[in-house]
């Protein structure tokens, strides 16, 4: 509920702070006094876009602040979703700066207008004659019936399932699209993949082949050079190994003459061992060299294929070509695994659809069950409000496709006159009738759901006398379950409030100001008497006012 509202530098208001009680509050005043300013300020707290022209003094900041007691509204999840600190006493503030920029805060945390609007709609419900047009909106009509049917848990479960169902549908279409695309290019991708895989690539594949190509292309040169090297190493008497062996023997003879000679002898012995190993290796390599034209041809073909694949796939090395191979394997796999994936998704979709069908059927049935009682209550209230021949019906029909309400759609049918054909509410009801229908609907809903603070702006427009009295009774009954604020010109309605504010204008220092004061019991008698009989406030009007307040 709204506990207080502070307005500074807005329209004709310089600075005012209002404190509200939890039941029924009345705001009265002459036409043009500024009652609509209260609604404008609250609209800003609900996320309406700010207008610099609404500032009283454009040189100063405009500040609108509302304090709400929200412990009974179960709004923790809304605060969590918007990353806001939850407080049972929540402060919503809107500022319009002289620059024209606007800022909004919830519990001192900056928020955008979308966040402000989301919370504002859950805290304050404003109804003017223009805004009663929503009663003709079929989505709102369904929401009302669902509230009376009291199946919110089932509806939430259905909507979560429907969201998951649509996600599966999108995934299924995506897989089908991938399959169709893969089908088109499958043969070509498979050919490219097999072409690469035929080489059995490894990271050192290119280096190994190029080394083999060099060796096989230079067999004669290799044999000649290796053979000559072996001869120079191993030739008797003049071969390098023979001569080094002789030097080793000579050094061995002097090794005992000093440490330095022994060290030279050991180093030469090491060199000789290494050279002997090297000679054996060269000889082994020379013996393994064979002229193999067929092998050379095979190596050349593999290298040519490798180089061609480099050009075809626009890569520079084997590593990049291996990445291409992985990509082609993934594309081919889509086609090869698509049937299995499709079957799994179709099975999952069918299961989800069957559950949704069952839930939608249950929702549809629940709605049909409450129509009779809801219709009876609605007609009874409208008869109280001066519409004795009211007829109401609910055109609930099944749809072929799912929607956010299951597989149902609704249209309220209405006639204010007996014997006339029922038509859609938005086409058949006048503005005054829409106001009364709105009031009747809200009064019924107050018994089923925890409504936010509701503000009725001149809902009594076009009615008077006994009907106003009945309207006041209904508003008073509603206020037993929720906070109700009513801006009214009706003395009958005004007399029902537990709290009464008067809005008036006065000129100070040549400037018009809107003032708002809370009326005492005595002041209320005077205000209601004035509403009854004008400025003169006759004794009969005063007595009538006292009678109204005493009821």
- Looking up residue 470, the CATH number of its domain turns out to be 3.40.50.300
Tell whether 22 is covered by a domain: yes
Check whether residue 191 and residue 261 sit in a common domain.
yes
Q: Are 57 and 49 in contact (CB under 8 A)?
A: no
The confidence score (pLDDT) of residue 23 equals 92
The confidence score (pLDDT) of residue 131 equals 58
- Please indicate, yes or no, whether the overall pTM of this predicted structure exceeds 0.75: no
Check whether residue 291 and residue 313 sit in a common domain.
yes
Residues 168, 262: Cα–Cα separation, whole Å: 87
Sheet order of strands, 24-28 included: 124-127, 453-457, 484-487, 24-28, 499-508, 511-518
Tell whether 259 is covered by a domain: yes
Check whether residue 189 and residue 268 sit in a common domain.
yes
Check whether residue 94 and residue 182 sit in a common domain.
no
Tell whether 328 is covered by a domain: yes
Check whether residue 64 and residue 195 sit in a common domain.
no
Tell whether 314 is covered by a domain: yes
Check whether residue 183 and residue 329 sit in a common domain.
yes
CB under 8 A, 24+ apart: contacts of 474-479: 474/381, 474/384, 474/385, 474/439, 474/440, 474/443, 475/24, 475/439, 476/24, 477/443, 478/442, 478/443, 478/446, 478/454, 479/23, 479/24
Residues 160, 493: Cα–Cα separation, whole Å: 43
In total, how many domains does the chain have? 3
Residues 6+ apart with CB under 8 A from 295: 212, 216
The confidence score (pLDDT) of residue 3 equals 95
Check whether residue 187 and residue 333 sit in a common domain.
yes
Residues 122, 195: Cα–Cα separation, whole Å: 65
Q: Six-digit token pair at 479?
A: 């206020």
Check whether residue 192 and residue 305 sit in a common domain.
yes
Tell whether 433 is covered by a domain: no
Residue finishing a domain among 285, 304, 337: 337
Check whether residue 468 and residue 503 sit in a common domain.
yes
Tell whether 139 is covered by a domain: no
Q: Are 392 and 440 in contact (CB under 8 A)?
A: no
Tell whether 402 is covered by a domain: no
* Number of helical (H) and strand (E) elements in the chain, helices listed first: 17, 15
- Tally of CB atoms within 10 A around 187: 11
Low-confidence ranges of the chain (pLDDT < 70): 129-133, 216-220, 288, 292
Q: How far apart are the first and last CA of the chain?
A: 26
Check whether residue 501 and residue 535 sit in a common domain.
no
The confidence score (pLDDT) of residue 339 equals 76
CA distances from 451 to 228, 352, 378, 480, 484 (A): 106, 33, 18, 12, 10
Check whether residue 189 and residue 308 sit in a common domain.
yes
Residue finishing a domain among 337, 356, 371: 337
Residues 330, 325: Cα–Cα separation, whole Å: 9
Q: Domain of 499?
A: 1-126+458-518
Check whether residue 186 and residue 323 sit in a common domain.
yes
Q: Six-digit token pair at 132?
A: 């009663």
CA distances from 277 to 231, 233, 234, 238, 523 (A): 15, 11, 12, 19, 123
Tell whether 497 is covered by a domain: yes
Residues 433, 317: Cα–Cα separation, whole Å: 81
Residues 6+ apart with CB under 8 A from 173: none
């Amino acid at each position: 509920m709204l506990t207080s509202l502070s307005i500074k530098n807005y329209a004709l208001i310089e600075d005012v702070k209002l404190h509200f009680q939890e039941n029924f509050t009345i705001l009265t005043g002459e036409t043009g006094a500024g009652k609509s300013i209260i609604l404008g300020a609250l609209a800003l707290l609900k996320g309406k876009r700010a207008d610099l022209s609404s500032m009283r003094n454009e040189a100063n900041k405009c500040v609108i602040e509302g304090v709400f007691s929200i412990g009974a509204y179960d709004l923790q999840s809304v605060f969590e979703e918007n990353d806001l600190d939850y407080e049972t006493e929540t402060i919503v503030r809107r500022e319009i700066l002289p620059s024209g920029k606007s800022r909004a805060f919830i519990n001192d945390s900056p928020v955008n207008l979308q966040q402000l609007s989301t919370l504002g709609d859950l805290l304050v419900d404003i109804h003017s004659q223009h805004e009663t047009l929503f009663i003709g909106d079929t989505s709102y009509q369904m929401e009302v019936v669902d509230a009376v049917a009291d199946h919110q848990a089932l509806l939430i479960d259905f909507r979560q399932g429907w969201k998951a169902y649509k996600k599966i549908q999108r995934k299924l279409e995506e897989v089908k699209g991938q399959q169709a695309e893969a089908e088109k290019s499958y043969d070509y991708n498979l050919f490219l993949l097999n072409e690469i895989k035929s080489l059995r690539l490894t990271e050192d594949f290119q280096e190994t082949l190029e080394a083999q190509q060099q060796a096989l292309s230079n067999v004669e040169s290799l044999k000649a050079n290796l053979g000559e090297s072996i001869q120079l190493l191993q030739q008797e008497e003049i071969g390098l190994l023979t001569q080094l062996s002789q030097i080793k023997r000579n050094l061995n003879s002097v090794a005992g003459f000093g440490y330095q000679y022994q060290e030279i002898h050991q180093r030469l012995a090491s060199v000789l061992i290494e050279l002997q190993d090297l000679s054996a290796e060269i000889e082994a390599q020379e013996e393994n060299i064979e002229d193999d034209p067929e092998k050379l041809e095979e190596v050349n073909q593999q290298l040519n294929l490798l180089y061609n694949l480099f050009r075809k796939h626009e890569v520079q090395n084997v590593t990049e070509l291996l990445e291409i191979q992985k990509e082609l394997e993934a594309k081919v796999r889509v086609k090869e695994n698509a049937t299995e994936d499709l079957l799994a998704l179709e099975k999952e979709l069918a299961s989800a659809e069957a559950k949704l069908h069952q839930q939608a059927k249950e929702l549809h049935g629940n709605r049909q069950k409450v129509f009779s009682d809801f219709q009876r209550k609605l007609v009874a209230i409208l008869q109280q409000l001066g519409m004795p021949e009211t007829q109401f019906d609910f055109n609930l029909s099944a749809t072929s496709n799912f929607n956010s309400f299951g597989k149902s759609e609704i249209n309220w049918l209405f006639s204010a006159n007996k014997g006339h054909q029922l038509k859609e509410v938005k086409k058949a009801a006048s503005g005054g009738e829409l106001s009364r229908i709105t009031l009747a609907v809200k009064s019924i809903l107050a018994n089923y759901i925890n409504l936010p603070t509701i503000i009725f702006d001149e809902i009594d427009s076009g009615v008077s006398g006994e009907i106003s009295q009945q309207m006041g009774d209904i508003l008073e009954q509603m206020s037993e379950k929720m906070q109700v604020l009513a801006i009214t010109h009706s003395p009958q309605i005004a007399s029902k409030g537990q709290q009464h504010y008067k809005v008036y204008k006065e000129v100070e220092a040549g400037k018009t100001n809107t003032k708002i004061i809370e009326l005492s019991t005595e002041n209320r008698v005077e205000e209601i008497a004035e509403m009854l009989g004008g400025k003169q406030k006759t004794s009969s009007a005063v007595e009538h006012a006292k009678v109204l307040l005493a009821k």
